[in-house]
Amino acid sequence: MKVMLVILDGMGDRPSGALRGGTPLEAANTPNMDYLAENGINGIMDPIAPGIRAGSDTAHLSLLGYNPYEVYTGRGPFEAAGENIELKPGDIAFRCNFSTVDETMNVIDRRAGRIRESTHKLAEVLNGMEIEGTRIIFKESVEHRAVLVLRGEGLSPRITDADPHRLGPINEVRALEKGAEKTAHIVNTFVRKSYEVLKKHPVNIERRKKGLPPANIVLPRGAGMVPHLKSIGEKYGITAGAIAGVSIVKGVCRLVGMEILEVEGAKGSAESDFAAKVRAGIKYLDSGDMVLINIKAPDLFGHDGDPAGKRAIIEKIDEAMKPLKEILDDAIVAITADHSTPCNVMDHSGDPVPLLIAGSGVRTDSVSDFGERSAPKGGLCRVRGNDLLNILLQLAGLSEKFGA
Amino acid sequence: MKVMLVILDGMGDRPSGALRGGTPLEAANTPNMDYLAENGINGIMDPIAPGIRAGSDTAHLSLLGYNPYEVYTGRGPFEAAGENIELKPGDIAFRCNFSTVDETMNVIDRRAGRIRESTHKLAEVLNGMEIEGTRIIFKESVEHRAVLVLRGEGLSPRITDADPHRLGPINEVRALEKGAEKTAHIVNTFVRKSYEVLKKHPVNIERRKKGLPPANIVLPRGAGMVPHLKSIGEKYGITAGAIAGVSIVKGVCRLVGMEILEVEGAKGSAESDFAAKVRAGIKYLDSGDMVLINIKAPDLFGHDGDPAGKRAIIEKIDEAMKPLKEILDDAIVAITADHSTPCNVMDHSGDPVPLLIAGSGVRTDSVSDFGERSAPKGGLCRVRGNDLLNILLQLAGLSEKFGA
C-alpha cells in the first residue's frame, strides 16, 4: 500500500466564542474528513513534544522522522531550499528582505514598498560575488523577499540578524559565539555592498522616478546551517514526493530528499487549488510510495485571528478531500496538522493537533467526526509527530522488522 | 496569563474496599475540583515515566522540567536546600538523625527519643568543623532530624549510609565506587567525632538526668551531590515561586531557582492552613509568572494506610481550592499529584496521577469530575511529568516558538 499524508497547516485551534464554543474544525461541516475519521482511527499528536510551540519547519522535520533539536539551527536553509537553491551541508543560509534605507543607513521601509517586480534584476548583480573567499549565492523570492547563502570554510550560523525588525538603524551583525566573527564580518560586508550596488541600480532609479521607495539594501536574518541529513529514501527505503505552496515546507521536503511536485494552482494561500493538489498527490502514488500534501490556508486564518474564515476554508478543503475516500484500499490516508494556530492566539501554540488515519486494515474506534476534542477519544490516544511516519509506513506494509 | 500549579502530594490512589471500591479522591466530595475538571481538560500523568515509583524529590524535579536521572544522586541536597543551607554544585549533602547509641556503638534509639528541643545547641558544636581539609556544614532540622554538608575537593556521593535503619551496630560507611573512599572516611570520622562531642554535651547530661535517651550521635544517610542546574528562570524565562510545608519540596524548588514563599500556617501536615497557601499563591501571581503549591497531607494518609482519612483531608483541601475558580481568566490552573501513595500500598506507587488543567482558552472535554478513573477519558490522554511545564506555559502564552 501507499501513504497519503495531508498536513493542514496550523489547523489545530481552541474553542471560540464566535463559533459557539467550537473550534473552526469542529464548527465546520466536513463530511469527507468525518467519513475518514469514522472509518479510521483517531488521536491527538504533539508535532514535536507536548507543549512545544512548533514552527512549520521544525514540525515538518519532526513529522518526517528527523529530530529538529539536532538538525535545525534556523529557518534560512529551508527557505533557500524551497527556492530551488542547491545547498551543501555546511552552507549558511538566510532569509532576506529588500528594504529601503536613507543615507544614514536608517531603515525607512522594511519591505521597500512591498516591491513585486524586477527583483530578479536586483538579485542578479549580487549573486555570484565573493567576499574574502566566501561565495555569495543570492536569489530573489516572492515580493520583497530573497534568500542568501554563504559557502566557504569556517562559517557559523551563530550570529545576529542585520534586519532590525523595525524602522531605525540597521543592525551591525554580531557573533553569538567564538568562531562566528568571520561570518558576522562577511554578512556586514555583504549588506554594505548591497547598498552600494543597489542604490544606483536602474530598477531603483526607475522606482524613485515613480515616487516608490527604492529596494536599496538587502537585510539578512534567520541564519541557519544546512544540516547533514540522511535522505528519507535511505532512512525508510521509500520514494516520497511533496506538494506544497509555501517555500519553507518545500524546502524541508527537498532537504530530506523528497521529490517536489509542482502543481498548477498550488499557491500556499486561500486561493490555492486544493483539489488539484489532492489529484496530483493521488497520481504521484501510481509510482511513489508516499506523498505529503501541505495546505497552508488554515494557518493564515489562524494568524489573522479569523475563526469564521478558518471554518470556511476548512469546509472548502474538506471538499477537496473527497477523492481520498476512494483510495482507502490502496493507500493509508492520514490527515493532521503541523501545529495549532489558534485564532485567539494569532500565532502557533503548543496544543496538540488532531490526527486521523484511514485505510484498509487500520483498527477503527468509536470516533465519528474529525475534531480537536473528538480525536483524543480515539484509538491512537496521544502520539508524537516523530513517530508518525513509522506508524503510517507499517500500516502500509512499507517498513522493516526490528529483531526476529 | 499566569500559571498556578497545585500539587497534592501522594494524592493518587487505588480502589479501596473501605470506600466501596472508590479511591479516596473519587469517594471524596470535591465540588471545586470537579468544577475545574468539568470546565477544563483532564488526563493522567506519569510523574517520571510509566511504572516508575517516584519520590517527592525526583517527581518535583521532573514536573519542573529537569531530568531526575541526570541531576539526582540522593535526597540529601534537596533536604539541605530546604533548610536554607546555601549549597554549591559539588557539595555532598546528607539527611541525618540524632540517635542514641550505647558505649559499644549499638543504636538503641534511632530518633533519640524523638528529641524536639535544643537540637540547635547540639548542631552548633558540630557545624564549622574541618576534617582533613573538608569543611563540615551541619544544621538541625525538625525533631530528631538534621542535615550535613561536606564541601571540598574529590568528594563522591557513592557511599553507604552510617544509619543502619534499625537497632543494632552503626554502619561503617563504605565506598560504593573507586574514588569514594575519601568521602566514606570523612563521614566515618564525622560520626565518631559526633559521639565524642555529643555524649558529654550539657543538653545530653540534662536528658540523662530526666531519664531521656541522649542524642549522642549523628547518623548520616541519603548522600547526594548538589547538581549544576540551570535555573527555571534561565530555562523558561519566567519568575516562579513555591509554597510548601515540607523541606524536601522547598529544597527542590530552591535549587531550581524558585522563590520560596513562607506562609503562616503552612506546616506540611494535615493541620496545615491550605486556604492560606492558596491565597498566598494567588497573591504571588500579581507579580510572578508561576507559582507551585505543594500540599503534603494526602501523602501522609497514604503512608498511614488510611483511606477514610485521606478522603476527609481531600475534602478539606477541596474547600481551599474554591478561589481558583475565580482566577481562570488570568491564570492557567493545574491540579495534580507528584505521585500516587495508595493506602493499600502505604508507600509511593508507580500508578499515574490525575491531572486537570483549566483556564481561559483551554480545550475542554467530557470529563466532569476529578478522579483517577475519570481523568484518562479526558482530552489530555496520558502525558509525562517532564512535559507538564511546557504544556502549562504554552497555554499561558509564556513560551517561545521553536522554528518559524
> Of B150, B403, B229, B45, whose CA–CA distance to A75 is shortest?
B403
Question: Averaged over B181-193, what is the pLDDT?
Answer: 98
Shortest CA gap B85–chain A (Å) = 34
Q: Does A50 touch chain B (CB under 8 A)?
A: yes
- B390 → closest Cβ in A15, A51, A344: A51
Annotate B23-36 with three-state secondary structure. Answer: CHHHHCCCHHHHHH
* Residue spans per domain, chain B: 2-72+228-395, 79-225
Which residue in A25, A26, A42, A52 has the most chain B C-beta atoms within 10 A of its own C-beta, making it the best mutation to test that interface? Answer: A52
Each residue's pLDDT, cut to its tens digit, for chain A (404 residues) gives: 999 999 999 999 999 999 999 999 999 999 999 999 999 999 999 999 999 999 999 999 999 999 999 999 999 999 999 999 999 999 999 999 999 999 999 999 999 999 998 999 999 999 999 999 999 999 999 899 999 999 999 999 999 999 999 999 999 999 999 999 999 999 999 999 999 999 999 999 999 999 999 999 999 999 999 999 999 999 999 999 999 999 999 999 999 999 999 999 888 889 999 999 999 999 999 999 999 999 999 999 999 999 999 999 999 999 999 999 999 999 999 999 999 999 999 999 999 999 999 999 999 999 999 999 999 999 999 999 999 999 999 999 999 999 99
Q: Does B329 touch chain A (CB under 8 A)?
A: no
Check: CB of residue B67 under 8 Å from CB of residue B227.
no
Q: Minimal Cα distance from A53: which residue of B?
A: B401
CA–CA dist A136, B331 (Å, integer): 49
Q: What is the pLDDT of residue B268?
A: 85
- B364 → closest Cβ in A72, A345, A373: A373
Residue type, A319: E
The CATH number of B2-72+228-395 is: 3.40.720.10
ipTM above 0.90, yes or no: yes
CA–CA dist A271, A292 (Å, integer): 20
Q: What is the pLDDT of residue B267?
A: 85
Measured between beta carbons, the chain B residues lying within 8 angstroms of A381 are: 381-382
Question: Does B399 contact A53 at a Cβ distance shorter than 8 Å?
Answer: yes
Question: Does A58 contact B403 at a Cβ distance shorter than 8 Å?
Answer: yes
Check: CB of residue A133 under 8 Å from CB of residue A152.
yes
Q: Does A222 touch chain B (CB under 8 A)?
A: yes
Angle ∠(A146,A223,A193) on CA atoms, nearest 5: 55
Residue A388: its H or E element: helix A388-395
- A348 → closest Cβ in B361, B391, B401: B401
Measured between beta carbons, the chain A residues lying within 8 angstroms of B383 are: 50, 382
DSSP-derived secondary structure for A135-190: EEEEEE-STTEEEEEEESSS--S-B--S--SSSEEPPPP-BSSTT-HHHHHHHHHH
Question: Does A382 contact B387 at a Cβ distance shorter than 8 Å?
Answer: no
Q: What is the pLDDT of residue A268?
A: 86
3-class secondary structure, B177? coil
Q: What is the pLDDT of residue A203?
A: 97
Measured between beta carbons, the chain B residues lying within 8 angstroms of A373 are: 363-365, 379
Does position B266 have pLDDT exceeding 90, yes or no? no
Residue type, B63: L
Residue B131: its H or E element: strand B130-131
Q: Does B383 touch chain A (CB under 8 A)?
A: yes
Question: Does A377 contact B380 at a Cβ distance shorter than 8 Å?
Answer: no
Distances (CA, A) of B379 to A185, A372, B43, B65, B367: 51, 9, 6, 22, 9
Shortest CA gap A337–chain B (Å) = 15
Q: Which residues pair with A208 in a beta bridge?
A: none
CA–CA dist A255, A289 (Å, integer): 18
Question: Does A56 contact B404 at a Cβ distance shorter than 8 Å?
Answer: yes
Check: CB of residue B221 under 8 Å from CB of residue B95.
yes
Question: Does A59 contact B403 at a Cβ distance shorter than 8 Å?
Answer: yes
DSSP letter assigned to residue B228: P
Which residue in A299, A340, A377, A384 has the most chain B C-beta atoms within 10 A of its own C-beta, making it the best mutation to test that interface? Answer: A377
Cβ neighbours around B21 below 10 Å, total = 10
Question: Averaged over B281-296, what is the pLDDT?
Answer: 98
Residue with cell 506507587: B349
Sheet with B240-243, strands from edge to edge, namely B259-260, B240-243, B290-295, B2-8, B331-336, B353-358, B41-46, B381-384
Measured between beta carbons, the chain A residues lying within 8 angstroms of B387 are: 49-51
| Average pLDDT of the residues of chain B | 97
Check: CB of residue A16 under 8 Å from CB of residue B361.
no
Q: Does B200 touch chain A (CB under 8 A)?
A: no
Shortest CA gap B401–chain A (Å) = 5
- B403 → closest Cβ in A43, A55, A376: A55
Distances (CA, A) of B123 to A331, B52, B215: 73, 36, 11
Span B331-380, pLDDT tens digits: 999 999 999 999 999 999 999 999 999 999 999 999 999 999 999 999 99
Q: What is the pLDDT of residue B260?
A: 97
Q: Give every CB contact of residue B252 below 8 A, 6+ residues apart in sequence.
A: B56, B57, B60, B61, B64, B78, B81, B82
Query: With 0-12 CB in 10 A as exposed, 13-18 as middle and 19+ as buried, what is B391?
Result: buried
Q: Does B378 touch chain A (CB under 8 A)?
A: yes
CA–CA dist B323, B317 (Å, integer): 12
Q: Where do the DSSP E strands lie in A69-112?
A: 92-101, 106-109
Q: What is the pLDDT of residue A259?
A: 97
Question: Does B402 contact A349 at a Cβ distance shorter than 8 Å?
Answer: no
CA–CA dist B312, B25 (Å, integer): 9
Q: Does A59 touch chain B (CB under 8 A)?
A: yes
C-alpha of A219 from chain center: 21
Distances (CA, A) of B294 to A1, A177, A224, B324: 52, 40, 42, 15
Say how many CA atoms lie within 13 Å of A321 toward its Cβ: 31
> Of B316, B311, B375, whose CA–CA distance to B21 is shortest?
B311
Cβ neighbours around A404 below 10 Å, total = 3
